[in-house]
Chains A and B, each alone.
Chain A
């Protein structure tokens, strides 16, 4: 049995009075790719942002319940510490426009005021960029601004930025919805590589993508976790009628 890295216990999230995530209990095994899917407004992104305490940055947003990371409740930890352990990649590539590619990768250290020797920084940058298959493309233009890259390259740069912090879990919020098909497939290939070292939780609208990249899939509907199972099982033999309807496209 694989060990559990992230576990939510009766997790609820609200925007003001609006109850958007309802009593979610989920166990996420280490070094797996978990796809979270569901129709728009089903609370999947909110749940994802709850895991690294980004949810509470929105004014009026609150949460109840527990999110356990290695059996420690992240709700009890300082959010800054949580976010160092759980990295995040967003829907739109968002490299820091004022920083070079090099500085973008080590932004987590540089902007947090962590001083590292040059050799160490070089190592982290090369290592992180290699992991996201971007090193060969940008190794001669590390001093250029990150915003000069194409959308797909920018997104991989953002993944490298998250990877550079050596987190345990990486959260992806619809990471390919702003990318073209070729960049999308590059990023999807990355997931297979990244799961050797990290646990990946990916929110996606795209069912094919969920089927392609994930080991397990969670289906959210109206704020509830309807079904959570092996991806193969989910797509071939879902137990809940709502999952069946969603997968077969009977509602969206």
Chain B
């Protein structure tokens, strides 16, 4: 074999090795973060931690029940707003690929996706908090704005992948447009749509910035959506910047809970995608 060929083989092998090394290196930060947070947080988690609310500094047995409840409520109502709008908008975009409205709304969605979350928080503050005061509602609305682009894009991409023949088969049976969409197109793309929804929930679960200005935070257990409410990410932020060791510990524990939550959502997404996938 000539030197030239050897050189080329060597170069090829080197390049392959480089891709493997770099691919592996992506995993390192994730594993490091996971290890660290679990190590620091898992020991703080116990029954009291999950069921108690905030206690004054120095008093032992403080918990995150109010923040857990708050996060669940705020995210639930954010989903309630974002899921129907997002899915319907995604359906419109996939059905009207070339219309002018589709062009502009696709552009808006792309830009919305790039808007920093803190900006969305400030806008929600000006629109909702200034006239109506701090409330969990305003937090839900701010988060729902963040969910929209993810749901819209994943719905659109999923439905675009479905073959046109499917749509034609339905129309040829004399089905009206809404039934074609609801009975054929959406059921066939349900796994992609659901995974987009789950990912958007996982994405906003840890969002702090929009909540700083809206849901604001609260020391007590509350389910009143019209009043300020504590949420997990905000609680972590609040406790982490205090100089008190036991509050910092609570922040680690809450981080660990949040991490587990997001991890579970991602696993659930994978399961849903596998279970509901329609074989075309």
Contacts and interface: CB of A to CB of B under 8 A. Distances in A.
Contacts of A158: 169
A15 interface: no
Nearest to A107: B173
Nearest to A82: B174
A57 B180 CA distance: 13
Interface of B is mostly: helix
Interface residues of B, number: 21
A90 B168 contact: yes
Interface residues of A, number: 29
A147 B171 contact: no
B278 A98 contact: yes
A52 interface: yes
Interface in B242-280: 278-280
B163 A98 contact: no
Contacts of B184: 96, 98, 111
A97 B168 contact: no
Nearest to A84: B174
Interface in B123-177: 163, 165-166, 168-176
B183 to A, nearest CB: 4
A83 B173 contact: yes
A113 interface: yes
A218 to B, nearest CB: 21
Contacts of B166: 94, 96-97
A249 to B, nearest CB: 31
Contacts of B169: 90, 94-96, 158, 161
A94 B168 contact: yes
Contact of B171 (A83, A113, A162): A83
B188 interface: yes
Given A97-B188, A147-B279, A147-B280, A57 B168 contact: yes
Nearest to B166: A94
Interface of B: 98, 163, 165-166, 168-176, 179, 183-184, 187-188, 278-280
